[in-house]
Amino acid sequence: MIRRTGKAITGITLVEVMIVVSILAVLATLAAPNLSELFIRNRLDTVSNEFETTLNFARSEAMRRGAKIVVRQADGSATRQWNKGWEVFVDLPSAGAPEGNNLRDAGEELLRVGQELNPSLTFYSSRNAQTLIYFSADGRAVTPVNFFHFVLCYVENGQPAIATADRRPRSRAVMVSDSGRIKRTQPNDSGRLIVDSASSSGTAEVTDCRNP
């Protein structure tokens, strides 16, 4: 005589599936803002790190070569704006320009090129008419006033902002002093950048991406 033994059949019910889907939806909703913030911070940090590295490279090359090294806006750049990128080159003296002419002429070595930025970013300098910054052989940055600020902002809803209404920072700043010191600044409690002022002492809060 053959006996058949039954086995319990286990599985997932539709109700259980719906519960799991609901939980995943809630977790995804909670994670989305954090992922967005991570994406924004990554873009800002990548570009600000690259530009800071470029300036440090230009300064070290100036001292190593005993020559003037220029960091200049890419051709076609608008006033203050560095979004189109930049180039680093050796500016050699000539008969008509014993200190160089701030332009890359034939025979002058191109050392580094910064690529055009993604449209989600804006990158402005604090100088109205100055399209470049250069380092002399002693490592000093030649600037007309004490500090040269570069402010990078993330564009949200078509507008670049230093910070959001809820104080989330949307910007980075790179500063160069006339001594050649290069540094980045951190946002304050309001999410806005604090930079060295153009005067010999004191600080200032950056409130405008386009006119830092």
**Which region, left, alpha or beta, applies to residue 8 given φ > 0 means left and ψ of -120 to 50 means alpha?**
beta
β-bridge partners, 178: none
What is the number of H-type helices and E-type strands within the chain? 1, 12
pLDDT in tens, 92-102: 998 888 889 99
Distance CA 63, CA 206 (A): 32
Structure-token pair, residue 77: 């750049």
Ranges of the chain whose pLDDT falls below 70: 1-11, 16, 20, 24-33, 143-146, 198-201
Give yes or no for a contact between 114 and 97, defined as CB atoms under 8 angstroms apart.
no
Q: What is the pTM of this model?
A: 0.81
For residue range 119-128, what is the model confidence (pLDDT) as tens digits? 999 999 988 8
Structurally, at CATH architecture level, domain 14-206 sits in 3-Layer(bab) Sandwich (3.55)
CA distances from 107 to 60, 90, 94 (A): 21, 9, 12
Structure tokens at 167: 């104080």
Strands (DSSP E) contained in 40-138 are: 69-73, 86-90, 110-114, 121-125, 132-135
Kindly report, residue by residue over 166-198, the tens digit of the pLDDT. Answer: 888 999 999 998 889 999 888 888 889 988 876
